[in-house]
Amino acid sequence: MTNKTIIAIILFLIAGNIYAQRITDGNRDFKLAELSDKILKDTINETTETVKTNNQKSPGISVLLSALLPGAGHFYAGRMDVGAYFLGAEVSMWLGLFGVNYYGNALRDDSRSFASLHSGLNKDGKDDDFYSNVGNYLTVFSYNNEKLQRGEYDKLYDVNTHFWNWDTQENQYEFDIQRKKSERTYNLRTIFITGMIINRIVSGLSAIILTNKSNNNAGSIKLSSEFISTPENRLDGIKLNFVKSF
Tens digit of each residue's pLDDT (9 = 90 or more) over 21-63 = 554 555 544 454 454 455 445 554 554 444 444 568 899 999 9
CA distance readout (Å), 241 to 113, 116, 223, 244: 83, 87, 6, 10
Tell me how crowded residue 33 is: count the other CB atoms within 10 A of its CB.
11
At 33 the pLDDT is 47
Give the span between the Cα atoms of 63 and 103, in whole angstroms: 34
Give the span between the Cα atoms of 38 and 53, in whole angstroms: 28
Residues 80-86 have a mean pLDDT of: 94
CA distance readout (Å), 234 to 13, 46, 65, 153: 15, 28, 59, 110
Task: Quote the mean pLDDT of the chain.
Answer: 80
pLDDT at residue 177 is higher than 60: yes
At 226 the pLDDT is 59
Give the span between the Cα atoms of 202 and 87, in whole angstroms: 12
Q: pLDDT band at residue 88, thresholds of 50, 70 and 90?
A: very high
At 202 the pLDDT is 95
Percent of the chain with pLDDT over 90: 62
Packed helices 80-119 and 169-216: angle between N→C axes, nearest 10 degrees: 170
Per-residue pLDDT tens digits for 193-244: 999 999 999 999 999 999 998 888 755 445 455 556 666 655 555 555 545 5
At 199 the pLDDT is 96
- In contact, 121 and 161? CB cutoff 8 Å: no
